[in-house]
Amino acid sequence: MDYINRLDNYDGPEIAKIALGDPYCLFEEAFLIYKKSDLNSEAMEVLLTNIDSIERAQEFAARCNESKVWYKLGRAQLEHGNVPEAIDSYLKAEDATDYAEVIRAAKVEENYDELVRYLTMARNKAKDQLIDTELVYSFAKAERLAEMEEFTS
């Protein structure tokens, strides 16, 4: 794959699409091309859907530290049932788009401390009655009564 690093003056996204195509399935090469072209969101998509490596995706997200990349990682972690890691990724992305799914997954795992952290951020990003209700419920379940009292007053 050293040849990809030596290439210059080429249409990276177009070549990466071809590399991902059916007859080739050159996933590592497509990832490298997207990465070299600074298309980190697309590179993350290749890591998560084609290469299917959450560990490498975590390393990549930490290295490039972009909101879109953290969001995609959080979504994938949530789909794999890694709720605490997903919440951390969503917090780094500062994205509350999937708050309903995060609430549902955290309640199933009874991970209320992490859910409080997420809902506090989500409350600043989106105004929804569900967020406020679940935040009060999470305070109670996590036995953080002083914070619940402060929030409700």
Q: How confident is the model at residue 3 (pLDDT cuts 50, 70, 90)?
A: confident
Q: Residue 5 above 80 pLDDT?
A: no
Chain centroid to Cα 147, Å, comes to 27
How many angstroms separate the Cα of 58 from the Cα of each of 9, 14, 44, 75?
30, 26, 9, 12
Is the separation of the CB atoms in 105 and 90 below 8 Å?
no
Helices (H), 46-98: 54-64, 67-79, 83-93
Instruction: Check residue 71 and give its pLDDT.
Output: 98
* Angle made by CA atoms 144, 150, 153, in degrees to the nearest 5: 135
The residues, ordered by sequence, that sit 6+ positions from 34 with a Cβ below 8 Å of its Cβ are 12, 13, 16, 40, 42, 43, 46
pLDDT in tens, 20-57: 999 999 999 999 999 999 999 999 999 999 999 999 99
Whether the pLDDT of residue 83 is over 90: the answer is yes
Give 95-133 pLDDT, tens digit per residue. 999 999 999 999 999 999 999 999 999 999 999 999 999
What predicted TM-score, i.e. pTM, was given to this entire model?
0.91
Banded pLDDT at 146 (limits 50, 70, 90): very high
Count of positions (residues) in the chain: 153
Return the pLDDT at 21: 92
Torsion angle of the four alpha carbons 19, 21, 22, 25, in this order, in degrees rounded to the nearest 10 = 30
